[in-house]
């Protein structure tokens, strides 16, 4: 098993453009107009279009698969609690933090969250379990 310590963390950041949302809509088949139509979104509690939660939540997978624990990570479990909306072109940072390690079973337990870079608001909070192979 790669050497990890409790408290270790890693992050990745990205902003999501209109094109990103359009591509995700095609891949996910989630064509909810709150993500795609300005007029529709203006009539909602959000007042403008929002990025799909699973789109910015996918940054967590990027961290887990490329940085911490990194290549060889197998996603077993993910909880995601969406706290606040993310709007187009807002920069979001996904962070994962090791909270426990089961060396016998090669399991890594992590806190996962996404924050907006402009005001550090948590927009997603959750937990993940990863198996190392």
Q: What is the pTM of this model?
A: 0.90
Question: Is a pLDDT exceeding 90 seen at residue 118?
Answer: no
pLDDT digits (tens, 9 = 90+) for 2-40: 689 999 999 999 999 999 999 999 999 999 999 999 999
pLDDT digits (tens, 9 = 90+) for 95-110: 999 999 999 999 999 9
The band of 72, judged by pLDDT with boundaries at 50, 70 and 90, is confident
Question: Is a pLDDT exceeding 80 seen at residue 77?
Answer: yes
Tokens of 125: 């909070």
Strands 91-102 and 107-116 turn out to be antiparallel
The band of 119, judged by pLDDT with boundaries at 50, 70 and 90, is confident
Question: Is a pLDDT exceeding 70 seen at residue 1?
Answer: no
Please state, in angstroms and as integers, the Cα–Cα distance from residue 88 to each residue in 28, 37, 46, 53, 95, following that order.
18, 12, 12, 12, 20
Residue 43 φ then ψ, to 5°: -90, 0
- What's the mean pLDDT in 76-101? 97
The residues near 13 (Cβ < 8 Å, ≥ 6 apart) are 59, 91, 92, 93, 94, 117
Q: Which residue has the higher pLDDT, 133 or 39?
A: 39
Q: Which CATH number fits domain 9-132: 3.10.129.10, 3.40.50.720, 3.30.1360.170, 2.40.30.10?
A: 3.10.129.10
Least trusted range by pLDDT, from 30-34, 69-73, 76-80: 69-73
- What's the mean pLDDT in 66-91? 95
50 in Cβ contact with 35 (< 8 Å) = yes
Q: How many CB atoms lie within 10 A of CB 16?
A: 22
């Amino acid at each position: 098993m790669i050497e990890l310590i409790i408290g270790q963390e890693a992050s990745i950041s990205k902003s999501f453009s209109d094109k990103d949302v359009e591509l995700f809509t095609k891949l996910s088949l989630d064509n909810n107009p709150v993500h795609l139509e300005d007029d529709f979104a203006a009539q909602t509690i959000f007042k403008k279009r929002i990025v799909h939660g699973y789109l910015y939540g996918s940054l967590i997978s990027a961290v887990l698969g490329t940085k911490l624990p990194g290549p060889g990570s197998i996603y077993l479990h993910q909880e995601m609690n969406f706290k606040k909306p993310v709007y187009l072109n807002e920069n979001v940072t996904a962070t994962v933090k090791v909270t426990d390690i089961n060396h016998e079973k090669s399991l890594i337990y992590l806190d996962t969250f996404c924050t907006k870079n402009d005001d550090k608001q948590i927009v997603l909070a959750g937990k993940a379990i990863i198996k190392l192979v």
